[in-house]
Chain A
């Protein structure tokens, strides 16, 4: 079981089944990506594998940010798929030992599969028997392709991580899409963490992982 309460203190997050995928939804600038990466970092501190799929940051920035979160990081247990499209499809191993896969565009769905497969293989070779995956952000992919494709993509990725016993965390900017799109996309996931800006700061609630939705709590 994955215990996420060290990052977000909710009863529902104390024992998340391996293979679960969670959607993290909230408006822009509410710290969704930071939350997902912190949940990954928490696993890395316990020796788990970490796979970051980024549409917004360069792989080298993801890695240096990650080093700050996990100072004694075994970098061979960190892998990154970077689809900012600054190079054509290629892979590299950084001097620190991280495996990085580059895609030419966030619309390159086949390449995502190849990149993720290669990253998982590299993490397994580094001895990571379990791990966590962060996809930041689905909103970018939704600007490249339609709701149907993104739903299916999420469903297939969730199933893949289920068979690998990974924990999946996917962020989406709830302000960038209509309610119907969010209603559809969230069905591809086992649960959802919602974030909002309350009167006294940020609040979160957890839905779908255990019984009724939790109450909003300040974070």
Chain B
């Protein structure tokens, strides 16, 4: 997510009526981009996009192929797959963050987007927390405890770490249920087999 700016949702859907319905539901709360094909979706994807709603069955590039390209690009957006039937495979194994089964209701769509944004928030908090932990370790390695007690940077760091721990435990969206937990771990990145 990009700070306090309005989150950006990219809708990749080949049926214009369906796409327009999603847009109407989401436009009040989010900046919405629309694409009618996988190729167009990829061209409208950049680091500002927080959530992608991706139709699985499209002419041209399929949703699965688009997902692969998104993951290869290294962009850390969340991808919800939209399917016509309940998937009989593990969507998490495939790399999607969530799925929605057509026809989608407005409340389902909102809930899914909010949930995915909360996961992103968790990831961002965890990244920031890690950066501070790293800084703390560096300061502790180079200064005595007397120096640290007088060091404003160190004191601020510790205060900020305390706040972040609170924020992290309140943003359990990252690990609350099993799907969130697995998706968060996937976001840490698997090591490719040599």
Contacts and interface: CB of A to CB of B under 8 A. Distances in A.
A and B: interacting chains = yes
A31 interface: no
Contacts of A117: 178, 181-182
Contact of B189 (A109, A156, A160, A187): A109
Given A114-B92, A152-B130, A183-B141, A104 B193 contact: yes
A105 B174 CA distance: 24
Contacts of B174: 156, 159
Interface stretch (B19-27, B74-82, B103-111, B131-139): B131-139
B61 interface: no
Nearest to A110: B186
Contacts of B134: 148, 184
A94 interface: no
User: Most B CB atoms within 10 A — which of A149, A159, A180, A183?
Assistant: A159
Contacts of B126: 152, 155-156
Chain B binding site: helix, strand, loop or mixed by DSSP?
A: helix
B39 interface: no
Interface in B107-151: 126-127, 129-130, 133-134, 136-138, 140-141
B138 A180 contact: yes
Interface in B60-100: 90, 92-93
A151 interface: yes
Contacts of A109: 185-186, 188-191
A114 B130 contact: no
B22 to A, nearest CB: 28
Contacts of A104: 193
A107 B190 contact: yes
B133 A160 contact: no
B92 A110 contact: yes
Contact size class for B?
A: 20 to 34
B169 interface: yes
Interface in A170-197: 179-180, 183-184, 187
Given A163-B176, A183-B140, A156 B191 contact: no
Contacts of B129: 155
Contacts of B176: 163
A127 interface: no
A108 interface: yes
B191 A107 contact: yes
B57 interface: no
Given A159-B175, A179-B141, A187-B133, A113 B191 contact: no
Q: Which 3 A-B pairs have the closest CB atoms?
A: A107-B191, A113-B185, A183-B137
15 contacts: A109-B186, A109-B190, A110-B182, A110-B185, A114-B90, A114-B92, A114-B93, A152-B130, A153-B185, A155-B130, A156-B175, A156-B185, A159-B168, A159-B174, A180-B137
Given A113-B184, A117-B181, 11 more contacts: A104-B193, A108-B191, A109-B189, A110-B93, A110-B186, A110-B190, A113-B181, A155-B126, A155-B130, A179-B141, A184-B130
